[in-house]
Every structure is written in structure tokens, then in C-alpha cells.
Structure 1
Amino acid sequence: MEYQYPIDFTWSTEEIIDVIKFFEAIEKAYENGIERDEIMDAYRRFKEIVPSKAQEKTICNEFEEISTYSSYRTIKKAKDASPGERILMKV
């Protein structure tokens, strides 16, 4: 994609990479589909880095504005899915 991910420059390099992996997992859910467990693992790591609900909402809203992909709807669908199920989102 041709956009920049919302990044907090107080994060370590490893944390930035893991946040980008989370957003790439969201993109994957919209573009090709992704295994539920893969996206939930990325989300759990994202929540270790961004534990605050308010900060999560801000970052995810920024990502949705630039990409049109909803992290909230994707994670909600993944939480409701069974383990091993494939998540495929529609724009």
C-alpha cells in the first residue's frame, strides 16, 4: 500500500515492527483473508504495545482513514470466529 502506518516514535524498533505486522494482518484480512489465530496473535501483541483503549482507538482510526480498512470490525469478526476459521473482510 502507498501510505504510512500510524506510529508512535516512543516505541522501540521491535514494537514498531510488531505494530506494522498488526496493520499488515488487517490488510491481509481485507485483501486475501487471514487465519483467525494469526490475526489474534498480532492483535494480542499490538495490545501489549498499546494497552490503552483510547490510544488503540486513535491509532486504529488513523489507520482506517488512510487505508479504509477497519481494525475494529476485523478484530470483532475474529473474536466471534472459531479457532482455525479464515477471516475475510469486505470493504
Structure 2
Amino acid sequence: MEYQYPIDYHWSTEEIVDVINFFQSIENAYEKGMGREELMAAYRRFKEIVPGKAEEKKLCDEFEDMSSYSAYRTIKKARESAANEKIVMK
């Protein structure tokens, strides 16, 4: 895809990499499916970096505007799924 991930330049390099990993996990859920545990681990790390709901919503909305992939719907589906299930979005 040809777009930029929403990031905060105040984050460390490691945090930027981890946030990008989270958004790539959302992409994977749409494009080929993603293991629930791996997806939730990426989300938990994302929440360590972006603990506030308002900032999370802002970043996820920016990502959805650019990619058309909903982080909110993906994480909601993962939370409702069984432990070892593969998350496949449409």
C-alpha cells in the first residue's frame, strides 16, 4: 500500500516500530488473516505506547482514512473470538 502510518515523532524508534507493527497486523487481518494471540499482543504493545482512548481513536481513524482498514472493528472481532482463532476481516 502507498500511504504513511500515523505516528507521533515524539515516540522512540522502538515505539514507532511497534506502532507500525500494530497497523501492519490490522492490514494482515484484512489481507490474509492474522492469529488472534499475535494480533492482541501487537494491540497490547500499542496500548502501552498510546494509553489514552482519544489518541488511540485519532490514530486509528487516521489509519482507516488512509487504508480503509478498521482497527476498531478488527480488535473488537479479536476480543470476541476464541483464543487460537484466526482473525480474518472482510
Q: TM-score, normalised by structure 2?
A: 0.99
- Please give the root-mean-square deviation of Cα atoms over the aligned residues, in Å: 0.3
Query: What's the counterpart of residue 49 of structure 2?
Result: 49
Give ranges in structure 1 of 5+ residues lacking alignment. none
Measured in 2, the distance between the counterparts of 1:70 and 1:48 equals: 20
Secondary structure, aligned partner of 1:20:
helix
The secondary structure found in structure 1 opposite 2:84 is coil
- What are the within-5 Å matches in structure 2 for residues 1-16 of structure 1? 1-16=1-16
Matched, 1:64 2:64: yes
Partner of 1:17: 17
Q: Distance in 2 between matches of 1:13 and 1:29?
A: 24
**1:23-44 deviation line (CA, Å, top 9, x unaligned):** 0000000000000001000000
Displacement over 2 Å in runs of 4+: none
Partner SS, residue 89 of structure 1: coil
1:36-86 residue CA offsets vs partner (Å, 9 max, x unmatched): 001000000000000000000000000000000000000000000011100
Letter in 1 for 2:61: N
Aligned equivalents of 1:21, 1:52: Cα separation in 2: 19
Q: Identity, % of aligned pairs?
A: 67
Aligned length: 90
